[in-house]
Chains A and B, each alone.
Chain A
C-alpha cells in the first residue's frame, strides 16, 4: 500500500521558475526522503529529512517537514530543463536502523525550455 501521496500528480513550469511538490503520509516516520527518476530508470536520492528536523537545504533543493500535519514539501528553485523527471517521496518507519521505504505514486515534473 502507498504510504505517501504526492500532490500534484503532474506539474509543468517554465525554465527558471520554482517548482513546489507536496507529499502527505499516514503514520509516524523515522525520516522522509525525496528521489528523482528519469524515464523509468533508477531512482536518485535527492535529500533526506529526519523526523526531528523541520527544514533542510541542498543546493537548489529545499525540503520541509511538518510531522503534526504528516506532510512534506520539496521546492526546486530556478528550475532547469534537466530537472524534468518523476519525483517520489518515500517514508521510513521508526523501526530498526534501516527499514523499508514506502513510496508514493510520484509527481511528473516537466520544465519547458
Chain B
C-alpha cells in the first residue's frame, strides 16, 4: 500500500510568479484535501476535492485553485505569489465513508519559499 506522495519537496519562487504543486493519493482513497501550514502554526484548510469536483473551500482567495484527476491525483495551483504564501503545503487523502468520517493520510509536504 503506497502512501501520499508530493512533489516537489522544496521550491523557491519569486513574488508574482505562479506555482503548481502535485500530489498522488494513497491507493484506494478518493478524496484529496490541501492544507497550508505557516511556520509555527497548525495547518489551514485550503480546499477538498471529491470525484474531481471541489467539495469545500477554506478562507483562501481565488488565486488558489486545484484539480483532481480520474486517478485521484491532484494539483494545487497558486497564481500571483505573495511573500505570505511561503509555507509548507500538505496534501491529505482519505476514503469517503457514509458515517462518522475517517482519518487522513498526509504527504510529507512541499516547502514553498516566495522571495
Residues of A within 8 A of B (CB): 1-2, 4, 30-31, 33, 35, 40-45, 48, 50, 88, 90, 92, 96-106
Tally of contacts, chain A with chain B, CB under 8 A: 81
Shortest distance in angstroms between B89's beta carbon and chain A's nearest beta carbon?
11
Contacts of A4 in B (CB 8 A): 42
Cβ-based interface call for B72 (8 A): no
Q: Which of B52-111 touch A at CB < 8 Å?
A: 55-56, 58-59, 88, 90, 92, 94, 96-109, 111
Contacts of B109 in A (CB 8 A): 40-42
> A42 CA to B23 CA in the complex, in Å?
13
> A44 CA to B90 CA in the complex, in Å?
12
Cβ-based interface call for B41 (8 A): yes
Shortest distance in angstroms between A47's beta carbon and chain B's nearest beta carbon?
8
Contacts of B97 in A (CB 8 A): 97-98
Contacts of B105 in A (CB 8 A): 45
Shortest distance in angstroms between A63's beta carbon and chain B's nearest beta carbon?
12
Contact of A33 among B40, B41, B103 (CB under 8 A): B103
Contacts of B108 in A (CB 8 A): 41-42
Interface centre among B31, B59, B101, B111 (most CB of A within 10 A): B101
- What are 17 sample pairs from A and B whose C-beta atoms fall under 8 A apart? A31-B101, A40-B88, A41-B108, A43-B104, A43-B106, A45-B106, A48-B102, A97-B96, A97-B98, A98-B48, A98-B50, A98-B97, A101-B33, A101-B35, A101-B45, A103-B35, A104-B42
Given A42-B106, A45-B104, A98-B96; A103-B42 close (CB under 8 Å): yes
Contacts of A105 in B (CB 8 A): 40-42
Contacts of B90 in A (CB 8 A): 42-43
| B106 lies within 8 A of A99 (CB) | no
Lowest 10 CB-CB distances: which A-B pairs, in order? A103-B42, A45-B103, A100-B45, A42-B108, A43-B106, A42-B106, A92-B101, A97-B96, A103-B43, A98-B96
Nearest residue in A to B98 (C-beta to C-beta)?
A: A97
